[in-house]
Copies of this chain bind each other. A is one copy, B any other.
């Protein structure tokens, strides 16, 4: 991947997270499905916001979190996503650029405000997200630039992009453009309900367009509607060059050709907030690939990055992951 200007270009919803503690009674009372992401309109987002405790605001977005993590590890990242030119849009732009990420997508001058996701963190560290897409619905094919795609070894797309209507076309344009430039295409399945919403399309994408796939246990089961993880694993096998499947505390399983790597995750000291665990895993995995590590080591670095973000509130690293990785692995 060394000839590319960017190790990974991420394309995703540009979101500012509103992080708040909430107990299970609140989730039940509001009819929220614990552990998942649901889309809400501006009215419902406003109603829920009125009901929650004091919160903290922090840049988020799945692919954006991955690119932030990748940059924090010391690799070269770029991001395409749509904010509005408002206060939260400037927060999002600042936070990703401050890591050295190239983020040049023009902000929408008017229209809906920057997207926000109400991230309800349960006492058991599970998170439940209610996302108002806002300006993300303005992302379209015109935001996909060939100079950026061709400069990136991997173009990484989040499944959530299938939700805003025009972003799907941007997604497909980017994937075609990447392959046309002999670059890799990677996809994260994002969320089991997101998989349910777009299952036929996602099966086709995985079979025909994706080189590197990320999914967790629930998502890969949802994709193939299987009874269990092992059956889903057999179903996805052979469809992509690399498939990295995360299983929470059980670690991850990586498939590549005939090879299967099972990489365990170490228990963490204090599990606080699982928001962004999968995003950080992908960041570590991509970083490993950018350094030409074998896939088992890529998964191991993914686990280290994920372990950092689940030990504090918020989806992005609290400290430079580069320093953490050096401390864990010694000098590279």
- The residue of chain B having its C-beta at the shortest distance from the C-beta of A90 within the complex is B49
Q: Determine if B57 and A91 form an interchain contact, defined as CB atoms under 8 angstroms apart.
A: yes
A273 shortest CB reach to chain B, Å: 12
0/1 string, A86-115, CB within 8 A of B gives 1? 111001001110110000000000000110
* Interface flag for A4 (CB, 8 Å): no
A56–B88 CA distance with the chains assembled, in angstroms: 11
Given A87-B86, A87-B113, A113-B87, are A57 and B54 also a contact pair (CB < 8 Å)?
no
A178 to chain B, nearest CB (A): 27
- CB-CB under 8 A from A86, the residues of chain B are 86-87
Contact B56 A58 (CB under 8 A): yes
CA distance A95 to B49 in the complex (A): 10
> Which residues of A come within 8 Å of B, CB atoms?
21, 49-50, 52-59, 68, 86-88, 91, 94-96, 98-99, 113-114, 314, 316, 319
Interface pair B316/A54, CB less than 8 Å apart: yes
> In the complex, what distance in Å separates the CA atom of A96 from the CA atom of B6?
43
8 A-B pairs whose Cβ atoms sit less than 8 Å apart in the complex: A49-B94, A50-B94, A54-B94, A54-B96, A55-B95, A57-B91, A86-B87, A87-B87
A96 to chain B, nearest CB (A): 8
Residues from chain B with Cβ under 8 Å of A95 in the complex: 54-55
Docked CA distance A314–B55 (Å): 11
Within the assembled complex, what's the spacing in Å between the Cα atoms of A87 and B49? 13
Taken together as a complex, chains A and B put the C-alpha atoms of A55 and B90 apart, in Å, by: 12
Q: How far is the CB of A87 from chain B (nearest CB, A)?
A: 4
Q: Which residues of B contact A21 (CB under 8 A)?
A: 319
In the complex, what distance in Å separates the CA atom of A68 from the CA atom of B99? 33
In Å, the complex CA distance between A325 and B91 comes to: 35
Q: Is the pair B87, A56 in contact by a Cβ cutoff of 8 Å?
A: no
* Bound-state Cα–Cα, A309 to B58, Å: 19
With A50-B94, A55-B91 already in contact, 19 other A-B pairs whose C-beta atoms are closer than 8 Å: A21-B319, A49-B94, A52-B98, A53-B99, A54-B59, A54-B94, A54-B95, A54-B98, A54-B99, A55-B94, A55-B95, A56-B56, A57-B57, A57-B58, A57-B91, A86-B86, A87-B87, A87-B88, A87-B113
